[in-house]
Amino acid sequence: MHSGRWRRKWPGGIGFPDTLGNPRKECHVRIGRFCHHGPARKRSSGGTSMADKEMQTFAALVIQFRSGLLKHAQRILGNAADAEDLVQHALDEAWKERLHLQGPEAFRAWTGRVINTRAISLLRHHRAEQRKAVNAGWVTVLADDPEETEGSELWTFIQEKDLREAVERLPPQQREVFHLRAQGRSYVSIGAQVGRSTGTVGWWLHQVREQLRERLQPIAEERRLSVGTWH
């Protein structure tokens, strides 16, 4: 899922330690570039400029909340690299709105909402892209079941790797039938290839959907729940 489009480093950025288990890695927050569009303000003799004070205040908030924001983003996206990019985006936006974010609680709530909104957008886009991929038929097999319509929104939170891992755990015969159906083959065609009746093919596909739903639904529900549980 990681596209790398947000991953970047800016000159003059302030580095903070990575809070996802890589203490030596630098996670750059673009602060200096946001301070002025023109020349820097002059400091009074022996004093600190307003821009420096803003930067210090913002940096303190980043240090306080970045770890929690990363964990929250990773719970939704299921991917550490994408979560880091998403948090960077939220911090970029927070810097632009810094004058309106008065105090730690306002900063925490606002960045959490940005992450929730952007994460949902990313997941929906990713789901649409998956449907265009060669193995988009995998998702189509799940949609064969008319009972799936009501809970189809949940699959927004399932990534290709989740589905791939679940498919690999299917029994060999069911996995073969699943792949054939994902290629657009009819029940009759599948039955002829595997030497089974169309009724057996239909039953196996029903079992496949049940097993995949059993394995993937908890993952999807946890990620959907995470969107509304940023504390």
CATH at residue 142: 1.10.10
Q: Which residue has the higher pLDDT, 36 or 190?
A: 190
Give the pLDDT confidence score for residue 107 in this predicted structure.
Answer: 94
For the segment 50-65, the average pLDDT, to the nearest whole number, is 88
Q: Which two tokens stand for residue 154?
A: 């949940």
User: What is the count of structural domains for the chain?
Assistant: 2
163 & 209 share domain: yes
Residue 193, domain extent: 134-227
Band of the pLDDT at 11, cuts 50, 70, 90? Answer: very low
138 & 202 share domain: yes
The backbone torsions φ and ψ at residue 14, rounded to the nearest 5 degrees and listed phi first, read: -100, 130
Q: Last residue of a domain, which of 130, 152, 177?
A: 130
114 neighbors 151 (Cβ within 8 angstroms): no
124 & 180 share domain: no
User: Rounded to whole angstroms, how far apart are CA atoms 170 and 164?
Assistant: 10
Q: Show the CA angle centred on residue 109, arms to residues 53 and 27, nearest 5°.
A: 60
56 & 95 share domain: yes
Give the pLDDT confidence score for residue 158 in this predicted structure.
Answer: 76
Whether 9 is in a domain gets the answer no
| Predicted TM-score (pTM) of this structure | 0.45
Q: Last residue of a domain, which of 74, 107, 130?
A: 130
User: Rounded to whole angstroms, how far apart are CA atoms 30 and 12?
Assistant: 7
Choose among 126, 124, 98, 122: nearest CA to 111: 98
120 neighbors 227 (Cβ within 8 angstroms): yes
For the segment 73-84, the average pLDDT, to the nearest whole number, is 86
For the segment 152-173, the average pLDDT, to the nearest whole number, is 79
Q: Last residue of a domain, which of 79, 105, 130?
A: 130
For the segment 53-77, the average pLDDT, to the nearest whole number, is 90
The backbone torsions φ and ψ at residue 149, rounded to the nearest 5 degrees and listed phi first, read: -55, -45
97 & 177 share domain: no
Choose among 175, 155, 156: nearest CA to 166: 175
User: Rounded to whole angstroms, how far apart are CA atoms 127 and 139?
Assistant: 9
CATH of the domain at 98: 1.10.1740.10
